[in-house]
């Protein structure tokens, strides 16, 4: 039968199922197909910390949301237009997020009495009026997959496990996605087991053909490619981009990269990725604990590597003492904190921005460090380079505050020209720097950067000792002199304030905004989308986003004071707002949410409109 | 390879310009002097030698050596030294630590450095007390030790540092005494030649807070009957005229001390530091009694095992050997890997 084809400008799809149903993989493949087509994309994986929570339960639900459009988009979308629910738990856990009229594709095979009871459904929502107002497509996904694989030499279990490919095939048909990359992917993934390649391809094809033939799906959709800057793109997650940024920092500095890390969600993927890049001279060490991980990184920095440690909030807490040592030693060190919801174990797979205070202040003594934050998945690449630039130029620890949202979310990335990346070459000290021509003064500073010389072991004539005890200016000898300590504390603070960072830019297309929204880190997308919404209603609003949290851009105070009101949305209880109020005496309005999820653009838009009403 | 050039260094070359600030009479002075005197024979340039320490009296050590050095934070020296050593295989990296630093706050790093077999020479100055914090009991203090923090006597059972190191898969384990310069240097010599982690416990006297802790091993009237000097390939006998010996009792698990006159010569254990099974060295480490009788010193264990550094470096070298492009070309290839698309 001929199907109607309808054009859409944007679609949000959420794949939801049990943790073992392969929803992350399904979403990832759909995203890749969509990227190939040239749509703009933003994704939001959402999964439990448990590897396999009890099957069919609400805590075991894993989902992957993908937003794609024929124009540039900033967020993974507030509400799905389509929900794929692989079982009753997935339906129940996600239904509240669906606007009326949304399409719901359900795997009817899983709607058994037992599975319904597990999530507290008295009767099947497919039979009662629970889903009234939605467009429900009941599909016997599991049994059709098993049926399609009857002739294949795979176990029933393996056949059932291929149902996610059936779902992917159906959705790929529905949204006219090119599927070649998925076929290639399956060949790679199951290279060792050709029978599984055949089974998964057959399941995908069956899903596609089902869409083509069934009368239940009368319409096929198309979303045209977005107008994007010319160039070569790939879809990339924040953790992957950050890893590549660290590799690039090694190439552009000419230094070996040393990563010390201890497994922790959601940062472990950076360790996995970097461990693959030994041919770049990247050395990774899975340490015995978080403290050893940063210690080994600092030891490597002392020896002339770019020392890096990657972790999440609990790990930064453990590393705190060593970061302070790095402040005292004045050696380069990059500390990546992929933030998650805390305190303590909190919600390890959910996002939050609540480690800002710890990054800025969480050390003993006066121990200032540089702090930066990426605004989007692909921006993690450039943030990693910037962290390396500051660490190497100013010989200081730099904390890079990523979070779960940008780390696991993805977006298209216009590949940069390698030659255009910053030149990070450093010069090690090779000669004595004392007036007498023979003495080496390890704490004699560069007058411009206040950085001390980096004299690595192996350099003859520059043998010297450094340590955590307070050092005399210039000589680095142990010193308990009161005036010297005062001087050194102020100098270490000045060293951070001296770091040159770009001015903050304000986006105010109307030019007459009286309200500024200031954000930092991963809230860039939702804030940007909300500002667009506000402007579409004819109101003016300005947006500025902080990448450098320490030191802050030199023009920030002036920018803040030129607006009547400043709104600071954060996924914490107002940590940046406190800093802004204290530092600039600006009566900022703090808007906060700590739900483990990114802001939706709609709720931010409502908040901003309220503020605008009162200007 | 050409013959290494003799550097003709002397003890003086290894003395830094810093004033040594240990208490007068501290055993650390003897150890420092012994090491400064010993270092030249390694013929390693000063700039390629690094001492890394933690916190405590012994950890001030790097300040007094005219090499590269880092006085780090409490317990973390093995971790910091691991990052340095594995990324810089050209360096000779030494860790100086104490019983509190290595066995209490830094216990985790110590055992993991040993199990990995990182190419570190770890010198543990054991004085069985916390000196720098002025006299609390340490993880090697004896049960019942009365200190400022244990007025009724310590309730903790102490660690036996060598047993711990052996349990952690250490490939080289030795013990020596601060006051016996010749012996100390002989153990350091063996440690320096060992590829991988070398763990050396040095009994060190704290004359302020735990004076005489090892006196029986030093007093000429008792030491010969208390000390067992291990020598590779030699039967283990000690005491005046070899009065005592070490045997492997039939049916037992460990080693025991007997009067030599009561056993057949072939029953006396011949010391072999290269025995693969750590149980032998462990049994040696269990010989001393609470009164320090039967304390073996020397090299307990020295077995060949690839160092962590060498395995890691060979993986790096193998990966780099496949590279034919410039780093920039490689990077461009990496950035553009996976599914890409082009917009014109």
Q: What is the pLDDT of residues B90-137, one digit of tens each?
A: 999 999 999 999 999 999 999 999 999 999 999 999 999 999 999 999
Asked if the model's pLDDT at residue B3 lies above 70, the reply is no
Q: Are strands A231-237 and A410-414 parallel, antiparallel or unpaired?
A: antiparallel
Asked if the model's pLDDT at residue B74 lies above 50, the reply is yes
In chain A, whose CA is at the least distance from the CA of B114?
Answer: A288
Instruction: Note whether B88 contacts A458, CB cutoff 8 Å.
Output: yes
Burial of B173 (0-12, 13-18, 19+ CB in 10 A): buried
Tokens matching residue A485? 């300590």
DSSP, res B43: -
Distance (Å, rounded) from C-alpha A185 to C-alpha A163?
16
* Closest CB from A278, A292, A325 relative to B315: A278
The pLDDT > 90 percentage for chain B reads 94
In chain A, whose CA is at the least distance from the CA of B108?
Answer: A288
For A60-90, the pLDDT digits (tens) are 999 999 999 999 999 999 999 999 999 999 9
pTM (whole model) above 0.90: yes
Asked if the model's pLDDT at residue A1 lies above 60, the reply is no
pLDDT band, residue B252 (cuts 50/70/90): confident
Check: CB of residue A176 under 8 Å from CB of residue A190.
no
Asked if the model's pLDDT at residue B1 lies above 50, the reply is no
Find tokens 């596609």 and name the residue: A208
Which of B20, B51, B78, B80 has the most A C-beta neighbours within 10 Å, making it the best mutation to test the interface with A? B80
Dihedral, CA of residue B213, residue B139, residue A315 and residue A313, to nearest 10: -110
For A533-591, the pLDDT digits (tens) are 999 999 999 999 999 999 999 999 999 999 999 999 999 999 999 999 999 999 999 99
Question: In chain B, which residues have their Cβ closer than 8 Å to the Cβ of A307?
Answer: 83
For A231-247, the pLDDT digits (tens) are 999 999 999 999 999 99
For A287-303, the pLDDT digits (tens) are 999 999 999 999 999 99
Burial of B96 (0-12, 13-18, 19+ CB in 10 A): buried
Question: Nearest-CA neighbor of A604 among A533, A505, A500, A512?
Answer: A533
Report, as an integer, the average pLDDT of B260-277: 97
Question: In chain B, which residues have their Cβ closer than 8 Å to the Cβ of A283?
Answer: 86-87, 312, 316
Mean pLDDT, chain B, rounded, equals 96
Distance (Å, rounded) from C-alpha A384 to C-alpha B335?
14
Helix (H, G, I), strand (E, B) or coil at A435: coil
> What is the sign of the dihedral through the CA atoms of B122, B126, B131 and B137?
positive
> What is the sign of the dihedral through the CA atoms of A68, A70, A73 and A79?
negative
Which of B118, B314, B339 has the most A C-beta neighbours within 10 Å, making it the best mutation to test the interface with A? B339
Distance (Å, rounded) from C-alpha A101 to C-alpha A99?
6
How many Cα atoms occupy the beta-carbon half-sphere of B194 within 13 Å?
Answer: 32
For A114-132, the pLDDT digits (tens) are 999 999 999 999 999 999 9
A residues 234-273 closer than 8 Å to B (CB): 234-235, 244, 247-248, 251, 254, 256, 258, 260
Question: In chain B, which residues have their Cβ closer than 8 Å to the Cβ of A233?
Answer: 340-343
Q: Residue A300 has what pLDDT? A: 98
Check: CB of residue A379 under 8 Å from CB of residue A496.
no
ipTM over 0.90: yes
Mean pLDDT, chain A, rounded, equals 96
Burial of A436 (0-12, 13-18, 19+ CB in 10 A): exposed
Find tokens 């102490």 and name the residue: B158
For B173-188, the pLDDT digits (tens) are 999 999 999 999 999 9
Question: Nearest-CA neighbor of B39 among B162, B173, B177, B191?
Answer: B191
A20: closest CA of chain B, how far (Å) = 25
pLDDT band, residue B339 (cuts 50/70/90): confident
Instruction: Note whether B47 contacts A225, CB cutoff 8 Å.
Output: no
Report, as an integer, the average pLDDT of A462-484: 97
B49: closest CA of chain A, how far (Å) = 8
């Amino acid at each position: 039968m001929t199907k109607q084809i309808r054009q859409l400008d944007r679609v949000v799809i959420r794949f939801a199922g049990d943790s073992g149903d392969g929803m992350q993989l399904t979403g990832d493949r759909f995203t890749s197909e969509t990227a190939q087509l040239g749509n703009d994309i933003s994704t939001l994986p959402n999964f439990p910390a448990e590897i396999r929570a009890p099957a069919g339960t609400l805590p075991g639900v894993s989902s992957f949301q993908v937003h794609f459009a024929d124009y540039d988009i900033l967020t993974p979308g507030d509400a799905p237009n389509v929900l794929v629910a692989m079982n009753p738990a997935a339906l129940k856990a996600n239904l509240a997020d669906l606007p009326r009229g949304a399409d719901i594709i359900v795997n009817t095979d899983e709607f058994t009495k037992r599975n319904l009871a597990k999530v507290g459904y008295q009767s099947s929502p497919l039979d009662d009026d629970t889903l009234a107002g939605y467009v429900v497509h009941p599909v016997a996904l599991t049994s059709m997959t098993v049926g399609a694989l009857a002739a294949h030499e795979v176990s029933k279990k393996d056949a059932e496990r291929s149902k996610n490919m059936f779902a992917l095939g159906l959705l790929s048909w529905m949204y006219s996605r090119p599927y070649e990359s998925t076929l290639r992917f399956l060949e790679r993934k199951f290279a060792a087991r050709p029978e599984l390649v055949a089974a998964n391809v057959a399941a995908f094809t069956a899903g596609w053909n089902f869409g083509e033939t069934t009368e239940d799906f009368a319409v096929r959709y198309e979303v045209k490619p977005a107008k994007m800057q010319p160039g070569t793109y790939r879809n990339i997650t924040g953790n992957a981009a950050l890893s590549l940024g660290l590799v690039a920092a090694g190439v552009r500095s000419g230094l070996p990269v040393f990563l010390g890390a201890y497994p922790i969600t959601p940062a472990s993927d950076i360790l996995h990725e970097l461990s693959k890049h030994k041919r770049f001279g990247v050395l990774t060490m899975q340490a015995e604990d978080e403290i050893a991980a940063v210690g080994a990184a600092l030891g490597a920095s002392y020896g002339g590597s770019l020392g890096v440690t990657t972790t999440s909030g609990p790990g930064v807490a453990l590393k705190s003492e060593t970061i302070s040592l790095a402040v005292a030693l004045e050696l380069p060190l990059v500390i990546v904190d992929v933030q998650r919801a805390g305190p303590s174990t909190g919600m390890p797979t959910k996002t939050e921005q609540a480690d800002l205070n710890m990054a800025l202040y969480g050390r003993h003594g006066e121990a200032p460090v540089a702090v930066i934050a990426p605004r989007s998945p692909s921006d993690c690449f450039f943030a990693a380079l910037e962290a390396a630039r500051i660490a190497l130029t100013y010989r200081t620890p730099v904390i890079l505050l990523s979070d779960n949202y940008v780390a696991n979310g993805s977006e298209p990335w216009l590949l940069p020209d390698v030659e255009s990346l910053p030149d990070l070459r450093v010069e090690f000290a090779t000669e004595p720097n004392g007036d007498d021509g023979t003495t080496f003064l390890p704490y004699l500073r560069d007058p411009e950067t206040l950085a001390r010389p980096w004299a690595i072991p192996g350099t003859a004539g520059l043998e010297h000792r450094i340590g955590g005890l307070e050092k005399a200016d210039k000589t680095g000898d142990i010193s308990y002199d009161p005036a010297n300590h005062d001087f050194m504390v102020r100098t270490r603070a000045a060293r951070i304030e001296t770091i040159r960072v770009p001015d903050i830019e304000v986006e105010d297309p109307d030019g007459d905004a009286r309200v500024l929204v200031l954000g930092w880190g991963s809230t860039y997308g939702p804030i940007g989308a909300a500002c667009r919404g506000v402007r579409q209603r004819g109101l003016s609003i300005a947006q500025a986003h902080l990448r450098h949290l320490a030191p802050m851009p030199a023009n920030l105070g002036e920018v803040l004071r030129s607006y009547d009101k400043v709104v600071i949305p954060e996924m914490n209880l107002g940590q940046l707002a406190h800093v802004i109020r204290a530092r600039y005496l600006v009566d900022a309005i703090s808007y906060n949410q700590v739900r483990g999820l990114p802001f939706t653009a709609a709720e931010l838009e409502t908040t901003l409109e309220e503020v605008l009403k009162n200007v | 390879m050409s013959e290494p050039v003799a550097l003709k260094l002397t003890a003086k070359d290894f003395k830094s310009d810093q004033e040594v600030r240990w208490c007068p009479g501290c055993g650390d002075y003897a150890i420092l002097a012994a090491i400064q005197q010993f270092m030249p024979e390694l013929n390693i340039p000063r700039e390629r030698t690094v001492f890394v320490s933690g916190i405590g009296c012994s950890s001030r050590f790097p300040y007094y050596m005219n090499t590269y050095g880092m006085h780090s934070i409490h317990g973390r020296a093995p971790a910091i030294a691991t990052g340095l050593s594995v990324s810089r295989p050209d360096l000779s990296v030494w860790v100086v630590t104490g019983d509190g630093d290595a066995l209490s706050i830094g216990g985790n790093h110590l055992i993991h450095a040993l199990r990995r077999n990182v190419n570190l020479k770890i010198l543990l100055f054991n004085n069985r007390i916390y000196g720098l914090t002025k006299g609390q009991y340490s993880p090697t203090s004896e049960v019942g030790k009365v200190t400022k923090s244990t007025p009724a006597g310590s309730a903790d059972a102490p660690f036996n540092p060598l047993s711990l190191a052996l349990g952690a898969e250490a490939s080289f384990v030795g013990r020596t005494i601060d006051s016996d310069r010749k012996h100390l240097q002989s153990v350091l010599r063996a440690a320096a030649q060992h590829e991988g982690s070398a763990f050396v416990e040095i009994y060190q006297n704290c004359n302020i807070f735990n004076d005489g802790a090892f006196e029986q091993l030093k007093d000429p009237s008792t030491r010969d009957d208390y000390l067992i000097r291990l020598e590779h390939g030699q039967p283990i006998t000690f005491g005046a005229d070899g009065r005592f010996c070490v045997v492997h009792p039939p049916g037992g698990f460990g080693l025991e001390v007997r009067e030599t006159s009561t056993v057949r010569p072939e029953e006396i254990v011949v010391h072999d530091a290269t025995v693969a099974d750590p149980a032998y060295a462990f049994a040696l480490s269990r010989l001393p009694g609470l009164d320090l009788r039967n304390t073996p010193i020397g090299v307990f264990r020295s077995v060949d095992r690839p160092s962590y550094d060498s395995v890691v470096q060979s993986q790096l070298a193998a990966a780099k050997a496949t590279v034919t492009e410039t780093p920039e070309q490689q990077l461009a290839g990496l950035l553009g890997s996976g599914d890409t698309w082009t917009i014109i």
